[in-house]
A and B are shown apart, each in its own frame.
Chain A
Amino acid sequence: MSNGKDTLRAAMDRRLSFLDSRPSCRAALQQRIAQEEAPVMKKKFSVALVFALVLVSLSVIALAAGILFSPKADAVTLADKALEAKYGVTLKMQTYFTRSEEDLGDGTVRVTYASEDELAYVLGTYTADVKDGKAEVTWSRDGADVSGGYAADAWGAAQLEQMLKDNTATGDMGLFIGYAARAAKQNGRPDETVPSMTEAERKAYFEGIEKEKTDALNARVLSEDEMRAAAKEAVTVRYELTEAQAAMLELFVQPMATEENAWYLMIDGEPCFEVQYFLDQNPGTFTEKDGAYAVAVNVKTGVIERMVYESGLGGEG
């Protein structure tokens, strides 16, 4: 963005010039590094390693027998189908929601589809309780008036369909966000503010994430190639891709040298490796099933712990 002489960068740099180098940053870094460099005892050969070796054979069996999905991953599939059947909300439309899953402890998995920011009021939250192979879905805006397009008090499948069309045609999110913000304001969106984290909590938060990634990496039994293959098969099966579409799945490979643990994470205490595939059948235009598929594969067992599809049509995706 430029007019030759001036640029967005120059404008922002002038406006943000109150932010400058902080000696405290360097000092804090030096302190953390000193702690990190302090000598530590090497770990002894552990019982965990013995278990890991045993699991190698189990994992090979799991992979040979076909793709296994965790109960939560299965629950999500049922919830997705129930959401579409009852409310007409398709996978593509989920681009406007963030999905999460929770084990309620009585055999029920609760799958929640929540929208955020300006769209939270009108789109609401869908909740699917999945138990014994059945999913019951409800909507936080059940009973609200959904007629009248973007002027409606609550937006259902009809508005979501229109949002996708508007996004695709114009790339303009401003139109419906304005309507959504107005409706939220008129109806007094609840204040969700919670107390801020303390410095110690922030530090612990970051360290926790890093530790989880490293723990997941250290727990790895399967090779990354094996897990990528499992992820591809899972995407193909679960999202019912055709052979041609499966063949076009593009693995996202980090082209730069990077942290070894970058793609590792913990999901409910299970160490996982995340694989991302992209499908872009006709570059420049959206074709059914196009989008990003993220699959978390259990690094010890090969079980698919989580799958997320993002059509990318909402721009927030």
Chain B
Amino acid sequence: MAQDRRREWLNDAVTRWEKQMLRLCFAYLGDTALAEDAVQETFFKAWKHYDSFRGEAEEKTWLMRIAMNTCKDLLKSSWARNTDRFVTPEQLPEGAVPFEERDDTVTRAVMSLPPKLREATLLRWYQGLSLDEMSRVLRLPKSTVNYRLKKAKTMLKGELEEWYYE
């Protein structure tokens, strides 16, 4: 019965979050195959540790934390560190829906940030996590999270128009 419940939860979670997780992981890793691996691994870990998830945190936040750790584990591998993983702007596939030039600009600018600033930007402004949630996901004090967001904003400022700022 417990196994059935876990499987049922996983099916629902994949339906709810797969697309969002895939885009998040891609924006962080810059590689479609790696992002797919990371998403699959994230759901597998979540399924495996489902019993320890007791609803004390948002399901999304919990999954994001696992996803970010999985992406970092991937980047730590010597193979990933020494391989030019990022797609160039020209290599970024066309979208399935129409997009404007500035959509392209902002996406590429975010993907070009240093990893830790990119991670903070993606969680805050792409996934809409609060500072508290980010602190939990990144295991960092809020002051550090704030610091990184501020830096990310400064770095993006040169490339993006005021349109994108809070």
Are A and B co-members of a single complex? yes
A106 CB–B CB distance under 8 Å: no
Contact (A254, B136) CB under 8 Å given A15-B107, A19-B26, A209-B73 = yes
Interface membership of chain A positions 259-287, coded 1 if the CB is closer than 8 angstroms to chain B and 0 otherwise: 11010000000000000101010011000
Report whether B114 and A9 are in contact in the complex, using a CB–CB cutoff of 8 Å: no
Given contacts A1-B165, A257-B54, contact A196 B79 (CB under 8 A): yes
Asked whether, in the complex, the Cβ of B125 is within 8 Å of the Cβ of A9, the reply is yes
Which of B93, B141, B151 lies in contact with A250, CB distance below 8 A?
B141
Would you call B5 an interface residue if the criterion is a C-beta within 8 Å of the partner chain's C-beta atoms? no
B121 to chain A, nearest CB (A): 8
Given A171-B150, A174-B155, A283-B143: A260 touches B96 (CB 8 Å cut-off):
no
Nearest CB in chain B: distance from A21 CB, A: 5
- How far is it, in angstroms, between the C-alpha of A1 and the C-alpha of B44 when the chains are bound? 32
Residues of A close to B82: CB separation below 8 A = 192-194
- Cα distance, A47 to B123, chains bound together (Å): 46
Beta-carbon contact of A21 and B52 below 8 Å? no
Residue of B at shortest CB range from A2?
B166
Q: At the interface with chain B, which of A30-38, A137-145, A225-233? A: A30-38
Assess whether B56 is in contact with A205, with CB atoms less than 8 Å apart.
Answer: no
Binary contact readout A17-43 vs B (1 if CB under 8 angstroms, 0 otherwise):
111111011101100110011000000
A25–B117 touching, CB < 8 Å: no
Q: Which residues between 146 and 165 of chain B lie within 8 Å of chain A, taking CB atoms? A: 147-148, 150-151, 154-155, 158, 163-165
How far, in Å, is B160 (CB) from chain A's closest CB?
8
Partner of A8, one of B44, B93, B125: B125
Q: How far is the CB of B94 from the nearest CB of chain A, in Å?
A: 6
Residue of chain A at shortest CB distance from B155? A174
Chain B 9-43 against A: per-residue CB contact (8 Å), 1 yes, 0 no?
Answer: 01100110011001100110000100111011101
Chain B stretch 117-153: residues in CB contact (< 8 A) with chain A: 117, 125-128, 136, 139-141, 143-144, 147-148, 150-151
Show the binding face of A for B, using Cβ within 8 Å: 1-3, 6-9, 11-22, 24-26, 28-29, 32-33, 36-37, 116-117, 167, 170-174, 192-197, 201-202, 205-206, 209-210, 250, 252, 254-260, 262, 276, 278, 280, 283-284, 292, 312, 315-317
For this complex, 15 residue pairs linking A to B, each with C-beta atoms less than 8 Å apart, are: A8-B126, A11-B107, A11-B164, A14-B99, A14-B100, A15-B107, A17-B97, A20-B19, A26-B11, A174-B158, A195-B79, A256-B62, A278-B140, A280-B141, A292-B144
